[in-house]
Chain A
Amino acid sequence: MNQTVDALSQRAGQRRFPLIALVLLVPMAIINLVAFVLPVLRLGQISFMESRSGGVLTGNYSTESYIGFLTDRFSLDLIGNSLFLSLSVTFITLCCAYPIALFLHRVSPRWRNVLFVVTVSPLLVSSVVRTYGWMVILGEQGFVNGLLMSSGLISSPLRLVNNWMGVTIGLVEVLIPYMALSLIAGFGRLDVNLEEAAASLGANAWTRFRRVVFPLTLPGVALGCLLCFVLSISSFITPKLLGGGRVFLLATEIYDQAVIQLEWPKAAATSVIVLVIFGLALAFYSRVVRRFE
């Protein structure tokens, strides 16, 4: 009898829990509605506005901004450029951040906190300031070119900035802390005992990494890659400052369309297309994560 009562009260508790959860979610839902959902809906509305040449809004609605974007070779190049840059930056960032994260995971707890702070400390400085720093370091009269020229390795300065190279270097540096944090967060399943077991069975260091360590860290890798991909495809300041006007991407195009060309519907349509790419990336991530589970 008592067991039945307990079971019933437990079920009642389970039924009450979602209500409490819903109440607790209300403030965040309101903030999201006002700060995200409504602006996105407004963005969608603007993307269907009709504009005449020069950017004049006619007050009518049409799908011309989407048709114009999807039938223009230059726009499709923009998608290709953005995907290429985001994927290459994500890969390079992963290669740079993985050893750091692995080291931080294995180092003694006494040092871990200090080194952890050192790893994320670049986030304390604005990415604009760091990007301006790269402009100074990579410029023709900058530190790197100065060093190479004074050592006699090159006779004229290398073009390290105002191009794809500069944007890639800048973005990788900006994203390394994010990747490292994500990797560390996803290293929970990595157990040193498993590596020792593999070693006892004769696996060398490379085999241990390939067959044991890396597969166990894949959830962290997936999380870090998703975060870096989304941050790099939407990055605007670094490509704008380090691209020298030569690197055409979706984010810089949205700015140019809205602020320089005054074509708000085109800018809004491009933004919606970027949102769709984000959605596809998230869907792909969900599938990948499900496979790990």
Chain B
Amino acid sequence: MKSSHLKALATVGLLSAITATAPAGAAEITVMGYRGAFEENYVKAVIQPFMAQHPDIKVNYFGVQNAATSLGNMRAQKDAPQANAVIFDLSVAKIAKEEGLVADLDLAKVTPYADIADIGKELAGAAIPLTYDTLTLIYNRDAFPKPPTSWEALWDPAQKGKVTIPAQGGGDIQAILLTVIANRLAGEDDYKKTIEPGVEKLVKLAPSVQTWEPKPDAYTLVANGTVNLSIGYNARSQYYLDQTEGRLQSLGPVEGTASQINVISAIAKAPEPEATLAFVNYVLSPEAQAAFAKAMFYAPTNTKTAVDDATKARIPLMDPVQREKLIAVDWMSIGDMRESILQPWRRQIIPASR
């Protein structure tokens, strides 16, 4: 008798504990995205405030190495997705959409969509622009008494052996962007027409390059003085600028720069579509966009976002002059061009540095 009482009490206690932590109608969703500093800042600036506003939705963040890893996970879990939404690169999102791995959200239900800027909206509800970033020139402050202003600094003979380019055999998005920029520096604005001038220009850069695969990354090698110059993304550069007390500096060169676009997608066949939609609507809101811009210096995609001047000054895309000079990249066609960009990197550019 005593034992059955105890069991009943334990059952009641367990049930009340469950109902206390999971209110009626509660949902739990998982968001897959970049790990490291991105994850750390995104959880603090966006996910925690979202959960505070929506106590009935619990959001887990699953950090992965890069967008390709997210695609790999989505392919492997195609019939039983373990994540509900994914934050990844637009060019990878295009592949995910064509393979049917992401859901096409009803744009009428994505309330902030009308306020999202036009750059990177090609995939509509399947991949909505979440953050904009730009390729920047990064340099070691101590190596440049007079800071560089142009991409041409990479080609300066005085920097021979003191440059690193994170190329990953030419397949990295930064290498693709640099090809487009070099093409323009060489006088050809339309990379779809030809990239030969850009390739020739990069072949001239090759002997100056110490490594095409900086380890642990280009930011660290620039900050610790192993190299003087490199290319990088603005958001991470600003993060490292703070971490290194300004030893690493970053700038949007006078010739202009090109953007990289992160998007958010709901994963096809994933459960909890309503909670996922609520999360997507929140992360695209001016409030969440402003918080993440302040935390990590990604340019917001929502045009209604109010960003303070100090933050704006560290985001080239929020500078009207840089925005005017933005070099347009059609990420929808880059996938088809990848092979034609890869080949010269492997056969001409990198071998020229041996």
Residues of A whose CB lies within 8 Å of any CB of B are: 52-57, 74, 132, 135, 139-141, 162-163, 240-241, 243-246, 248, 252, 256, 258-262, 264
Is B211 in contact with A74, judged by CB distance below 8 angstroms? no
Given A53-B339, A245-B167: A259 and B66 interface contact (C-beta under 8 Å): yes
Q: Tell which of A54, A57, A162 touches B336, judged by Cβ atoms closer than 8 Å.
A: A54
Q: Tell which of B69, B210, B351 touches A162, judged by Cβ atoms closer than 8 Å.
A: B210
Residues of B contacting A52 in the complex (Cβ-Cβ under 8 angstroms)? 98
Query: A240 CA to B335 CA in the complex, in Å?
Result: 25
7 closest pairs, A vs B, by CB? A54-B335, A245-B212, A260-B171, A245-B213, A244-B211, A162-B211, A56-B98
- Measured CB to CB, the nearest residue on chain B to A252 is B169
Question: Would you give 12 A-B contacts (Cβ < 8 Å), ordered by A?
Answer: A53-B335, A53-B336, A57-B75, A132-B215, A244-B210, A245-B213, A256-B171, A258-B68, A259-B66, A260-B68, A261-B171, A261-B338
Is B95 in contact with A262, judged by CB distance below 8 angstroms? yes
Number of residues in B with C-beta < 8 Å to the partner? 38
Residues of B whose CB lies within 8 Å of any CB of A are: 66, 68-69, 71-72, 75, 91-92, 94-95, 98-99, 161, 167-169, 171-172, 210-213, 215, 225-226, 334-336, 338-339, 342-343, 346-347, 350-351, 353-354
Is A140 in contact with B210, judged by CB distance below 8 angstroms? yes
Residues of A contacting B167 in the complex (Cβ-Cβ under 8 angstroms)? 245
Query: A248 CA to B334 CA in the complex, in Å?
Result: 24
Residues of A contacting B71 in the complex (Cβ-Cβ under 8 angstroms)? 262
Residues of A contacting B92 in the complex (Cβ-Cβ under 8 angstroms)? 262
Given A241-B215, A244-B211, A244-B213: A260 and B168 interface contact (C-beta under 8 Å): yes
Is A262 in contact with B68, judged by CB distance below 8 angstroms? yes
Is A240 in contact with B213, judged by CB distance below 8 angstroms? yes
Query: A139 CA to B224 CA in the complex, in Å?
Result: 13
Query: A260 CA to B215 CA in the complex, in Å?
Result: 16
Residues of A contacting B350 in the complex (Cβ-Cβ under 8 angstroms)? 245-246
Residues of A contacting B161 in the complex (Cβ-Cβ under 8 angstroms)? 140
Quick one: which of A140, A243, A261 has the most chain B CB within 10 A?
A261
Is A141 in contact with B338, judged by CB distance below 8 angstroms? no
Q: Tell which of B91, B98, B168, B343 touches A245, judged by Cβ atoms closer than 8 Å.
A: B168
Residues of A contacting B353 in the complex (Cβ-Cβ under 8 angstroms)? 246
Given A140-B161, A140-B226, A244-B213: A256 and B95 interface contact (C-beta under 8 Å): no
A130 CB to closest chain B CB (Å) equals 14
Residues of A contacting B66 in the complex (Cβ-Cβ under 8 angstroms)? 259
Query: A150 CA to B215 CA in the complex, in Å?
Result: 27
Residues of A contacting B342 in the complex (Cβ-Cβ under 8 angstroms)? 261
Is A57 in contact with B99, judged by CB distance below 8 angstroms? yes
Is B169 in contact with A248, judged by CB distance below 8 angstroms? yes
Query: A248 CA to B98 CA in the complex, in Å?
Result: 31
Q: Tell which of B168, B172, B215, B347 touches A74, judged by Cβ atoms closer than 8 Å.
A: B347
Query: A210 CA to B338 CA in the complex, in Å?
Result: 55
Residues of B contacting A74 in the complex (Cβ-Cβ under 8 angstroms)? 343, 346-347
Query: A55 CA to B98 CA in the complex, in Å?
Result: 10
Residues of A contacting B351 in the complex (Cβ-Cβ under 8 angstroms)? 246
Is B336 in contact with A135, judged by CB distance below 8 angstroms? no
Is B99 in contact with A56, judged by CB distance below 8 angstroms? yes
